[in-house]
Amino acid sequence: MNGAEEARAALDAAGQLPDAELELAMVALHFARLDAPEADWRAARDALSELARRAVAAAASDPAADAGDTPRRAEALRALLHDGFGLAGDTDTYDDPRNANLLHVLARRRGLPVALGILWLHAAEAAGWGAHGVDFPGHFLLALEDPRGQLVLDPFAGGAALAAPELRALIKRVEGPKAELRPGLLAPMGKRAVLLRLQNNIKLRRLQANDVEGALRCVEDMLRLAPDHAALWREAGLMRHRLERIGAAIEAISRALELEPRGEAATRLRALLEELRNRLN
């Protein structure tokens, strides 16, 4: 079994696990192996283990943080990941595909918000501190859990804490000057959703480059992790259609409709499915 086969087998296995049992950073590493087969993924795996060990040590050395002081936890993670490990957002070459590949992120210490956030969440979980991704539009955030209310951090900005004024400025930067904070902007994300958001960056960049074949490979690998994700099956079907793979498109669209049989998108898919089946007759 070669490296790509190993990675895909690992993704298939992860796809059968409940969300809470996913090893977030390791699954991201398996995705990264598919796009960087030349990279030393075992060295990256060792780097993740070292990061986890340092997080455990940081928790043990700060009793206040370990007892539940959320601002102290944020400072400990910032000292470990930003100051110590050197992780930071890539502001110079933001659209570089390497910024969404955990192998390259670990080597360069630079990445997109979601790739960096996965490493922050990896460290927080190792320390035993509750944390989750935040599905903020256009800019992944994370939150440290607190009985009094979550503390939102920006991993791209070195773990800067974001209160309402900073969040308002961020949504205006992402969506325009008329945008305002609204319910749902700080919705927590499960691990699977975080990983799909990471890979979505790769898919979108390939589509922007008119690399439909590469985007389809990305979606098909995402389906290994999320085999019951209707929107991904729909995307796979539409991309296969563009590539004139009619039988495979029918298969994917049929699966999307099994998973999500109602709604406007389902109506459009049924019309396309009928058209594709007529082409085979």
Q: What would the pLDDT profile of 77-135 be if each residue is shown by its tens digit? A: 999 999 999 999 999 999 999 999 999 999 999 999 999 999 999 999 999 999 999 99
Burial environment of residue 252 by CB neighbours within 10 A (0 to 12, 13 to 18, 19 or more): buried
Strand (E) or helix (H) holding 277: helix 264-280
pLDDT band at 266 (very low <50, low <70, confident <90, very high): very high
> Is the whole-model pTM more than 0.85?
yes
pLDDT band at 214 (very low <50, low <70, confident <90, very high): very high
Q: Are residues 257 and 125 in the same domain?
A: no
Residues 111 and 240 in one domain: no
- Report the 10 Å Cβ neighbour count for 248: 17
Which of 159, 174, 192 represents a domain boundary (last residue)? 159
**In terms of domains, do 138 and 246 share one?**
no
**Residue 14 and residue 132 share a domain:** yes
Domain that holds residue 11: 3-159
For residue 218, tell me if it sits in a domain: no
State whether residue 186 is helix, strand or coil: coil
| Same domain, yes or no: 143 and 248 | no
Q: Is residue 92 part of a domain?
A: yes
What pLDDT is recorded for position 121?
Answer: 98
Asked whether residue 192 is domain-assigned, the answer is no
Predicted confidence (pLDDT) per residue in 10-42, tens digit: 999 999 999 999 999 999 999 999 999 989 999
Number of domains in the chain: 2
Same domain, yes or no: 144 and 236: no
> Does 265 lie in the same domain as 133?
no
Instruction: Please list, residue by residue across 28-37, b when 16 or more beta carbons sit within 10 angstroms of its beta carbon and e when fewer do.
Output: bbbbbbbbbe
pLDDT tens track for 132-176: 999 999 999 999 998 888 999 999 999 999 999 999 999 999 999
What was the pLDDT predicted at 1? 76
d(CA 179, CA 171): 6
pLDDT of residue 149: 84
Look up tokens 């999500």; give the residue: 260
Query: How far is Cα 214 from Cα 229, in angstroms, rounded to an integer?
Result: 19
pLDDT over 80 at 281, yes or no: no
On whether both 245 and 146 belong to a single domain, the answer is no
Using one digit for the tens of pLDDT, what is the confidence trace for 170-193?
Answer: 999 999 999 999 999 999 999 999
Residue 201 lies in a domain: no
**Together in a domain, 62 and 153:** yes
Q: What is the mean pLDDT of residues 237-254?
A: 97
Q: Is the residue at 73 inside a domain?
A: yes
In a domain, 7, yes or no: yes
Assigned domain for 273 exists = yes
Q: Is residue 214 part of a domain?
A: no
The last residue of a domain, from among 99, 128, 159: 159
For residues 39 and 104, the answer to whether their CB atoms sit within 8 Å is: yes
Domain boundary among 101, 129, 159: 159
